[in-house]
Amino acid sequence: MRRADPEGHGPVRFGPPLPGDGLPVLPELRAVLAEAAGSPHDCPVGGGRNLLESACGYWDRRGLPTVPERTVAGPGAPSLLLALTAALGGDVLVPRPCAVWWAPYARLLGRPVFHVPTPPESGGVPDPFALLETVRRVRAEGGDPRLLVLSVADDPTGTVAPPEVLHETVEAAASENLHLVSDETWRDTVHDPHGTVLLSPAEMLPDRVTVVSDLAGAFLPAGWPAAVARFPEGDGGTALHARVLDVLTALGARIAEPVAAAAGYALREPAPVTGRRTAAVRLHARLAEALHAAVVGAGALARPPRAGRQLYVDLAPLRTVLAARGVGDAQELEDFLTVRLGMPAPGGHRFGDELAALRVRLATGPLLGATDELRAACLTARAPEELSHVQRALTSVKAVFDDLRDDSRRWEHPR
């Protein structure tokens, strides 16, 4: 197909990155990285002891007791998911939509990927009945589903799955003997941690869940790739940990020593790191709320964002007016909105949705401004959405969507 060719809009090479926070690097992190840059030593494959102990402390504080012997670090979550997929074997199940980087690694290994619908209230976690139906259908057709990847705090939708939905899905997965990989990259970006209950599947099914967290979610700049994985209890977790280390060794997938030092510092959660994270979450929560109001006010559909720095917008109610402008699918919508908004608007087909569905992911980072000074001002402002440069950016977004809404009304009520 034209839109899948690598010279045009290839799904892997042109896939969107994680939504960045758009903020200057924390000075304390810069200092740690700079100090470690003089070291001539390599970080071991799987991570050095200091980094692994920092990761264990991070999970211990979240009610997931962990030991270094069941922990691995790698240069970004994609490398860890690739190693896990290779180690576990079999077919892969993911929700629809899902993070852009989940499916390509299974396909790279020649593993079939099956998308499962999510319930109406949230993304990231498959509907339990749809999951059972999909597993049984795949097996009836000769497939071998073994791995389910999910995320309670989700990219692309910015939602948090309710505990009752997660519990039913985890039970369904256990009944079908699936291994779960819980992508918890965004767990520390929940907008209202006192009003939103976030549970890890590893709390419910400790012997069948591997937790993966990319530190670009809440701790490190995206350009400093680092991620950690926590393996399940029991002999199965021990064997999986060993197989994953074998794959990472074969790939030479190790974290650069300066980045490993910064990651270890960040995961120990000293006051500068937690203070920045709290301020950044508050900032992006307010911007996500304003962005959500702008698109919903124009007649588009979007679940209220509860985590992360993004929301997922469905423009199906505006399909007629978009068709009049030459927009009939997600790739054309991506092209159309990217130009008009002046910011990335990756289409839903990047996240496993059907090409015909008019969906895009919008991020809040581009609203912060073009310079470090403007972005830093957002971080300390009591009402960042009222800063002049942020207000201009939001007004520009609102104008694009309001224009579509007004055209839609003219279509409905011709003069």
pLDDT, tens digit, 9 for 90 and up, residues 231-289: 998 999 999 999 999 999 999 999 999 999 999 999 999 999 999 999 999 999 999 99
Beta strands, E only, 143-287: 145-150, 179-183, 209-214, 227-230
Residues 195 and 369: their CA atoms lie apart, in Å, by: 30
Dump pLDDT digits (tens) for 149-168.
999 999 999 999 999 999 99
Residue 146, classed as helix, strand or coil, is: strand
Q: Please compute the mean of the pLDDT values over residues 167-189 and round it to a whole number.
A: 98
- Residue 413's pLDDT band (boundaries 50, 70, 90)? low
- One DSSP character per residue, 59-112 reads HHTTT----GGGEEEESSHHHHHHHHHHHH-SEEEEEES--TTHHHHHHHTT--
Question: Of the candidates 222, 176, 182, 228, which has an alpha carbon nearest to the alpha carbon of residue 202?
Answer: 182
pLDDT band at 367 (very low <50, low <70, confident <90, very high): very high
| 189 or 16, which is more confident | 189
Rg over CA atoms, the chain: 21
Neighbours of 342 (CB within 10 A): 13
Residue 333: per-residue pLDDT = 98
| Dist CA 281 CA 336 (whole Å) | 29
- Return the closest-CA partner of residue 127 out of 112, 142, 117, 114: 117
Average pLDDT over the chain, rounded to an integer: 94
Contact (CB, 8 A) for 330 and 360: yes
The pLDDT of residue 376 is 94
Q: Where do the H-state alpha helices sit in 98-177? A: 102-108, 128-140, 163-175
212 DSSP β-pair partners: 183, 229
Residue 174 in contact with residue 205, Cβ under 8 Å?
Answer: yes
Above 50 in pLDDT, residue 141?
A: yes
pTM: 0.94
Smallest Cα–Cα separation from 294: which of 395, 167, 178? Answer: 395
State yes or no: pLDDT of 2 exceeds 50.
Answer: no
**Residue 137 structure tokens:** 């259908």
What is the rounded CA–CA span in Å between residue 28 and residue 249? 31
CA-to-CA distance for 160 and 376, rounded, in angstroms?
Answer: 28
Asked if pLDDT for residue 116 goes beyond 50, the answer is: yes
Residue 375's pLDDT band (cuts 50, 70, 90) = very high
Q: What are phi and psi of 306, to 5 degrees?
A: -120, -10
> How many Cβ atoms from other residues are within 10 Å of residue 405's Cβ?
18
338: number of Cβ within 10 Å: 15
